[in-house]
Amino acid sequence: MVGPSRPQIVLFGSSIVQMSFGHGGWGAILSEVYARKADIILRGYYGWNSTRALEVVDQVFPKDAEVQPSLVVVYFGGNDSMAPHPSGLGPHVPLSEYVDNMKKIAIHLQSLSDTTRIIFLSCPPVDEAKLRQNQSPYLSEVIRTNELCKTYSDACVELCQELGLQVVDLFSTLQKADDWETVCFTDGIHLSAQGSKLVAAEILRVIKEAEWTPSLHWKSMPTEFSEDSPYDLVSADGKNTVNSSEWTYFWEEQWD
């Protein structure tokens, strides 16, 4: 543990979470936006479904931890929505079981503290044509369709409305981009830099608009060690120093 203690924002999910710090990912974007304000903690597990997540949620988020997260961003659903394999093996989870799993995960997270906030990300669409081209010789056929993705996405959104949780509808969000199949993915499933920008923008919008006390919007949070110092950069007139604590000019995109 290093100090000073900061609020924790935990990203909990499958490969779209695990890979969120690569390819200009949305996790990396959040880490940049919340620099010196909150710690972005990654708990991503490639290939996982909601059943596996439910099995370990109390280990990832123990109720007796000294410090509880301020925000948990949760994504499971893409693997759940895959068509079932004839063997009964694989990541597919029936829709009703998926909804029940996600509800139990939400209830556990809500029990951590009165100030632990939750955002669910729903199942995104896929580029079906690219998926067919990218079938691995080492794996059974992966059947993921946008019809299935939408069904699971809608179910996640409906559950969040029922529980009063914040949700980002990824199925709709990614399709707002022109040529979304081409620009939003690296392989038909996982997010490109452009896809991640759309996800990050929606997460930041939800955080900004949420009526949470305290606010978790980055502009509302204190910046660590932001006091003026004689060791700051010297101004052009040579008479004063310039505090750079809040500078964001170096961001690739100016986030709200």
Q: List, by residue number, the catalytic residues.
A: 14, 187, 190
Q: What is the DSSP letter of 185?
A: B
Residue 235 CA to residue 204 CA, distance in Å, equals 33
How many other C-beta atoms are found inside a 10 Å radius of the C-beta of residue 114?
A: 7
DSSP classification of residue 91: S
Number of H helices, E strands in the chain: 9, 7
Spatial strand order of the sheet with 71-75 comes to: 39-44, 8-13, 71-75, 117-121, 166-168
Give, in degrees to the nearest 5, the angle at Cα 187 between 30 and 199. 25
